[in-house]
């Protein structure tokens, strides 16, 4: 018998994955990508040993998502609501599932958690009279629907090819015990002790399931306000945020990582000054991102039509304080709720504007709503110097269907989450790998051609995702709040559909609006650009729509430190005989940039720019180009060099608001006690 000979990297993979042989999926992912998968995503036994391969991980996810299609088959599902079917008790569901024989869809075997998800969705539709069969018959119907094996294969290939990856909880929990697939949730808190403690409890449940939490604390009365019931004084929002901070310390998301929080306070709250400066002190609210929510009234007082001279001076004082704090500590961020709600089709149905976001700020949500995210790897669509637009459109449509199935097959941590998620069916399809795609195309990130490409990428993403959502509405029905939403009046959450776009348009948005009015749309929001930290590491690509942070850098994450050399620069340096340890040390010592290194030809230096080679105005411009077309918002950091001024921060805020951004995070290099990326 011939002994298999492995390279050193393959040997490291075998040890990491606790395997004796590598399969095709193991070989297709880098060692660093597998380290991330092993640390957080692959299932382990009680002794902590990995018992699941990457291939099996992607199979269990693909099966669950494919079941979302199968459960909406005409054989099983009725699009129109009718008389409620018999709804089983939990014990009856358990008995039925325990007595079922092994069920597979043309070789894809359903595990107990797949069947639990089928039962949950069956029960949901049974209450609406939309199931053709009882639960047991439905499960047998799935087994004979062999055509849905093709859907499972499509979803599997989508992930193992690294064309697309869903958000972390889906990778962790799809087809597994927790079953919770959403990245983040928003909760609400009222100004009473019962609500505060209930919110803390709900936050704990969400963290335990693997999700993050965003809360607007503006309903809480100011510090030292009178509390009539006790004749005492209130502690204020910042103190109550400390409760959530402590909850976060002791409960990890899905048992794998510490929870993420977004704390928001409206600009008109009496405690906003304390809130703005809270994180200047090390150790305070360290489990929080914090943002100040601004509205049209504030901006009018600051720069347009002030109510009074006092109002103008107060707005100016707060604006300066925010800028100074962000300059010093990178927080708070700003959320422009006037821009968030400008084209919000749900305000009519919900009876109020959006006023809270997820922890990274890219997804505004109503109380108890969740964000169900996934990202397409743009770098994979560049081949031989061209971008494959036809394949990009096809993948967008498949991903839109994938994320709608995430909403259906999700195991929500709270009943209120399930109800809110079902009512709006909000999804957030985004991208990663933009910087790498531009490098492969030999296009400089902050150039006119790059902005034109970004505009077309963003417009195509939203148009095709929304178009597929219309098709899903034809098959499965529109989201339940559609009939009372702004959609029926022609309002869609796409600014570019109503505003002149200097970079041009590629689609007939008015025709899409009319189609939605006539046919409905399955998902209230369809697109979002998320930060993709772990996902981009798994896909070996650049993060979100960010430029390359550095061309040689150290990234510190929960599983250790990773040292990267940009593969596209490595290829260029090889061609000119400069791919040497000495050259990479020079690049690292130059803050990861090749600017000023004369031995590298100008044609390479002109394309390979990094975060700090790009002016903050171009950072905002790139975010604005995407925001014109994206339904939700954009997670992007506006990076400033260490020697930037407070006035630069102020000007960045003003430009961002005027450009229609929905939020902004300004980060001056070195302003954090700790930072993830180091050149």
Q: What are the residues whose beta carbons fall under 8 Å from the beta carbon of 451, sequence distance 6 or more? A: 503, 621, 622, 625
Query: 424 by DSSP, 3-state: which?
Result: helix
Gap between the Cα atoms of 342 and 644, Å rounded = 32
Q: Which of 52, 116, 362, 572 is catalytic?
A: 362
Query: Contact, 288 vs 241, CB < 8 A?
Result: yes
Please indicate whether residue 475 is annotated as part of the active site. no
Gap between the Cα atoms of 647 and 442, Å rounded = 34
- The DSSP code for 34 is H
Which token pair is 168? 């972390």
E strands, 470-605, are 552-557, 560-565
Hey, what long-range contacts does 308-314 have (CB within 8 A, 24 or more apart)?
none
Instruction: Give me the DSSP letters along 211-257.
Output: -EEEEE-TTSPPTT-EETTTTEE---HHHHHHHHHHHHHH-EETTTE
Q: What are the residues whose beta carbons fall under 8 Å from the beta carbon of 126, sequence distance 6 or more? A: 84, 85, 86, 87, 88
Query: Contact, 31 vs 24, CB < 8 A?
Result: no
Listed residue (215, 231, 245) closest to 366, CA to CA:
215
CA 263 to chain centroid: 17
Count other C-beta atoms under 10 Å from residue 610's C-beta: 25
Gap between the Cα atoms of 397 and 137, Å rounded = 31
Gap between the Cα atoms of 356 and 216, Å rounded = 5
Q: Which of 301, 358, 377, 631 is catalytic?
A: 358
Q: Is the peptide bond before 454 cis (omega within 30 degrees of 0)?
A: no
Query: Contact, 338 vs 344, CB < 8 A?
Result: no
Query: 638 by DSSP, 3-state: which?
Result: strand
Gap between the Cα atoms of 672 and 540, Å rounded = 26
Query: Contact, 356 vs 364, CB < 8 A?
Result: yes
Beta bridge partners of 263: 215, 290
Count other C-beta atoms under 10 Å from residue 643's C-beta: 9
Query: Contact, 54 vs 37, CB < 8 A?
Result: yes
CA 215 to chain centroid: 17
Q: What are phi and psi of 668, to 5 degrees?
A: -90, 125
Please indicate whether residue 468 is annotated as part of the active site. no
Gap between the Cα atoms of 183 and 635, Å rounded = 14
Gap between the Cα atoms of 297 and 341, Å rounded = 14
Query: Contact, 675 vs 618, CB < 8 A?
Result: no
Q: What is the dihedral sign for C-alpha 450, 454, 460, 461?
A: positive
- The DSSP code for 530 is -
* Nearest-5° Cα angle at 37, 32 to 41: 165
Please indicate whether residue 372 is annotated as part of the active site. no
Q: What is the dihedral sign for C-alpha 420, 422, 426, 427?
A: positive
Q: What is the dihedral sign for C-alpha 342, 348, 349, 351?
A: positive
Q: What's the order of all strands across the beta sheet hosting 373-377? A: 164-166, 373-377, 428-432
Q: Which of 116, 167, 184, 360 is catalytic?
A: 360
Listed residue (249, 250, 335) closest to 290, CA to CA:
335
Catalytic residues: 358, 360, 362
């Amino acid at each position: 018998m011939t002994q298999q000979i492995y390279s050193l990297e393959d040997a490291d993979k075998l040890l990491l994955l606790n395997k004796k042989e590598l399969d095709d999926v193991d070989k297709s992912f880098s060692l660093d990508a597998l380290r991330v998968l092993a640390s957080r995503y692959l299932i382990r036994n009680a002794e902590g040993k990995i018992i699941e391969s990457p291939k099996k991980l992607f199979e269990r996810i693909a099966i669950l998502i494919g079941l979302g299609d199968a459960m909406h088959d005409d054989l099983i599902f009725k699009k129109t609501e009718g008389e409620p079917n018999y709804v089983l008790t939990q014990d009856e569901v358990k008995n039925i599932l325990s007595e079922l024989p092994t069920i597979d869809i043309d070789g894809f075997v359903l595990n107990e958690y797949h069947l639990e998800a089928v039962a949950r969705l069956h029960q949901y539709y049974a209450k609406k009279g939309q199931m053709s069969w009882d639960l047991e018959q439905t499960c047998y119907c799935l087994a004979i629907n062999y055509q849905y094996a093709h859907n499972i294969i499509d979803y599997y290939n989508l992930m193992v090819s690294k064309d697309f990856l869903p958000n972390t909880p889906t990778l962790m929990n799809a087809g597994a015990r927790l079953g919770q697939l959403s990245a983040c949730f928003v909760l609400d808190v009222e100004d009473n002790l019962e609500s505060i403690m209930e919110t803390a409890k709900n936050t704990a449940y969400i963290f335990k399931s693997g999700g993050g939490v965003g809360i607007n604390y503006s309903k809480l009365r100011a510090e030292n306000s009178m509390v009539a019931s006790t004749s005492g004084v209130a502690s204020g929002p910042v103190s109550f945020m400390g409760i959530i901070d402590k909850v976060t310390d002791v409960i990890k998301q899905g048992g794998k990582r510490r929870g993420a929080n977004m704390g928001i306070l409206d600009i008109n709250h009496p405690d906003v000054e304390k809130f703005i400066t809270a994180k200047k002190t090390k150790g305070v609210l360290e489990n929080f991102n914090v943002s100040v929510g601004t509205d049209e009234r504030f901006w009018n007082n600051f720069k347009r039509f002030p109510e009074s001279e006092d109002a103008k001076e107060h707005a100016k004082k707060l604006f300066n304080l925010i800028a100074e704090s962000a300059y010093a500590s990178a927080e708070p961020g700003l959320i422009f709720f006037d821009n968030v709600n400008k084209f919000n089709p749900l305000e009519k149905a919900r009876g109020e504007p959006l006023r809270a976001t997820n922890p990274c700020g890219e997804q505004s949500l109503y109380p108890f709503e969740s964000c169900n995210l996934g990202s397409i790897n743009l770098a994979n669509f560049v081949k031989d110097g061209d971008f494959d637009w036809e394949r990009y459109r096809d993948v967008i449509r498949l991903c839109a269907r994938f994320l709608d199935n995430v909403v259906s097959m999700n195991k929500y941590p709270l009943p209120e989450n399930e109800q809110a998620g079902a009512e709006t069916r909000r999804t957030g399809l985004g991208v990663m790998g933009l910087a790498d795609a531009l490098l492969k195309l030999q296009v400089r990130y902050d150039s006119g051609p790059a902005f034109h490409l970004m505009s077309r990428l963003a417009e195509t993403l939203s148009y095709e995702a929304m178009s597929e959502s219309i098709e899903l509405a034809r098959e499965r029905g529109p989201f339940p709040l559609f009939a009372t939403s702004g959609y029926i009046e022609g309002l869609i959450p796409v600014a570019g559909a109503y505003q002149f776009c200097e970079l041009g348009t590629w689609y007939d948005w008015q025709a899409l609006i009319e189609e939605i009015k006539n046919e409905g749309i399955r998902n209230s929001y369809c697109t979002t650009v998320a930060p993709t930290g772990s996902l981009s590491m798994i896909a070996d690509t650049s993060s979100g729509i960010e430029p390359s942070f550095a061309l040689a850098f150290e990234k510190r994450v929960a599983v250790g430190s990773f040292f990267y050399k940009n593969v596209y620069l490595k290829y260029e340096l090889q061609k000119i005989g400069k791919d040497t340890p000495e050259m990479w040390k020079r690049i690292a010592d130059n803050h990861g940039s090749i600017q000023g290194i004369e031995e590298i030809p100008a044609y390479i230096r002109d394309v390979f720019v990094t975060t700090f080679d790009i002016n903050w105005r171009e950072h905002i411009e790139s975010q604005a180009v995407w925001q014109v077309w994206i339904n939700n918002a954009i997670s992007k950091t506006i990076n400033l060099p260490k020697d930037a001024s407070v006035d630069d921060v102020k000007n960045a805020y003003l430009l961002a608001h005027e450009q229609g951004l929905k939020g902004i995070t300004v980060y001056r290099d070195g302003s954090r006690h700790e930072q993830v990326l180091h050149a």
